[in-house]
Amino acid sequence: MRLPRWFYLLGSPPFVYGLAGKVAPWLGVVTCVLLAVGGYWGLVVAPPDAVQGEVYRVLFIHPQIAYVSVMAYVVMAFAAAVGYVWRMKLAYAVAATAAPIGASFTACALATGSLWGRPTWGTFWQWTDPRIMSETLLLFLFLGYLALRAAFEDRDKADRVSAILAVVGVVDVPIIHYSVIWWNSLHQGPSIMKLDKPSIAPEMLTPFLIMVVAFTTCFFWLLLNGLRGEIVERERDTRWIRQLVEGTGG
């Protein structure tokens, strides 16, 4: 079977470095516009909630950040698996770049959730809540992945060993998703990601979805930005990096 040319190009560091440099600024612009529009809509235009009043406005950032934290893990684990199976160095670079971004989003999801939980549930933290616990486990998976990488001097070895941890940790993803259905949780059940019609007023659903797209593009913007540095670091002694740095007045 012949694979298309672009598939091979995606394995070429100079090509991906250049492509990321071209695409990232556009993603950055799209992200900033969507965050501004969604933020204004959610904070100013959307009406107060009948039950929660104004504090529900965390709804426009917290679930989105939590969802992106899980997506970041899936991207990281998938890239690590591709790297492991096909020995593709760029895939390992993607995984290593996604990890710190994912860790920061996971911590942010826990922090915003905590700030929302205090005024609505009366507590910042609940040790027995399955969603909070599975998301906390996700944070430790990210941190474990980063710590494991840092423990190896040899980058190839770090790539391979950490890939195994990343793939094994994927079991936490369905646990996070189904935690509110399987166990008794302070979190509510799914109200948007379900087969039935979403149980949310349309004037709240629109900014909610804008912010879903905004945080998704934000993740890929950060990923491409980070990937450029990661590629330069990994390819430091190659000819094309030499030419790149000499060309810029070295």
Report d(CA 249, CA 32) in Å as an integer: 32
Output 203 or 233, the one with its CB closest to other proteins. 233
CA angle 103, 104, 109 (to 5 degrees): 100
Cα–Cα distance between 126 and 114 in angstroms, integer?
A: 9
DSSP state of 3: P
Whichever of 62 and 187 has its CB closer to other proteins, that residue is 62
In the complex, least distance from residue 158 CB atom to other proteins, rounded to whole angstroms: 17
Phi first, then psi: give them for residue 49, nearest 5 degrees.
-80, 145
Minimum CB–partner distance for residue 79 and other proteins (Å): 17
122: left (phi over 0), alpha (psi -120 to 50) or beta: left
Q: Which is nearer to other proteins, 106 or 162 (CB)?
A: 106
Contacts to other proteins by CB under 8 A: 39, 43-44, 48, 53-55, 57-58, 61-62, 65, 100-101, 104-105, 107-108, 111-112, 115-116, 118-119, 218, 222, 225-226, 228-230, 232-233, 236-237, 241-242, 244-246, 248, 250
Q: Least distance from C-beta 226 to other proteins, angstroms?
A: 4
Distance between CA 225 and CA 25 in Å, rounded?
Answer: 9
Q: How far is the CB of 224 from other proteins (least distance, A)?
A: 9
